[in-house]
């Protein structure tokens, strides 16, 4: 069951990310003093136009990149100070990723795709098979265990991707436009599984989306513009049923 606490599991403090385009080229401020706190067990959606810094922020939260300045705290630990080896361990154990493009390996079956992240954590094969099979049953794909991605619909592929994100039982799940390649009905089905994951498993979920209706499924929505949270935009999203 979802249980939010007052203490943030993730906190971004005055985070800046500055990219330099080419040798001596123009500097681009992708994030400009971003402040964001996410409570353990919270479902947060992030909205904003293209180029607003959403993907950059997700890369920071997911330990895929480090800030130019500022702090990114995961359970109180500043991940910007960690080695690449330590960051890889965080990505493998504490964070699960769901991508818009699914990113499933076409030559592997559904169960093999889910087992793959466990290999890098040295989980024994029998445990990998059992865990992956259970995850597929959780997303109602128990009868598709040995099907390859090309034999699955878009919605089924995304559900495999959700199961893969849970393979190492992460504390935080990052979903980057998880319904972006799906029709509205299939997208709602995928969101139902994310909500189930949030409520029953107590996972912290951070989701980027362009879809206001999808954003309403979250506990809270923040609007990003020019690398900052825009407070005046918060009220444009109202939770469903309110």
Q: Give per-10-residue mean pLDDT for the chain (242 aa).
A: 72 94 82 96 94 92 93 93 90 89 93 94 93 93 95 92 92 91 86 88 92 91 93 53 42
Note the pLDDT of residue 242.
41
Note the pLDDT of residue 217.
92
CB 175 within 8 A of CB 207: yes
107 CB burial (10 A radius; 0-12, 13-18, 19+): exposed
Query: What region, left, alpha or beta, does residue 26 occupy, with left being phi > 0 and alpha being psi -120 to 50 degrees?
Result: beta
Q: Which domains does the chain possess?
A: 39-66+83-236 (3.40.50.300)
pLDDT tens-digit map of 29-60: 999 999 999 999 999 999 999 889 999 999 99
| CB atoms near residue 220 (< 10 Å) | 15
Mean pLDDT of all residues in the chain? 89
The string over 26-65, giving b where at least 16 C-beta atoms fall within 10 Å of a residue's C-beta and e elsewhere, is: eeeebbeebebebbbbbbbbbbbeeebbbbbbbbbbbbeb
């Amino acid at each position: 069951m979802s249980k939010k606490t007052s203490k943030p599991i993730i906190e971004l403090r005055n985070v800046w990310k500055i990219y330099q385009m080419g040798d001596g080229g123009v500097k681009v401020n992708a994030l400009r003093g971003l402040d964001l706190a996410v409570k353990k067990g919270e479902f947060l959606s992030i909205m904003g136009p293209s180029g607003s810094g959403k993907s950059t922020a997700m890369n920071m939260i997911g330990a895929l990149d480090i800030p130019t300045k500022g702090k990114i705290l995961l359970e109180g630990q500043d991940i910007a100070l960690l080695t690449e080896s330590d960051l890889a361990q965080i990505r493998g154990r504490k964070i699960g990723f769901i991508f818009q493009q699914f990113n499933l390996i076409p030559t592997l079956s559904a169960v093999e795709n889910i087992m793959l992240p466990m290999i890098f954590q040295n989980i024994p094969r029998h445990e990998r098979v059992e865990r992956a099979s259970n995850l597929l049953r959780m997303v109602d794909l128990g009868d598709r265990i040995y099907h390859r991605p090309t034999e699955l619909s878009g919605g089924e592929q995304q559900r495999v991707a959700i199961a893969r994100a849970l393979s190492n039982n992460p504390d935080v799940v990052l979903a980057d436009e998880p319904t972006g390649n799906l029709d509205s009905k299939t997208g709602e089905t995928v969101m139902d599984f994310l909500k189930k994951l949030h409520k029953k498993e107590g996972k912290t979920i951070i989701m980027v989306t362009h879809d206001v209706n999808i954003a309403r499924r979250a506990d809270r929505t923040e609007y990003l513009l020019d690398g900052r949270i825009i407070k005046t935009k918060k009220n444009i999203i109202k939770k469903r049923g309110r």
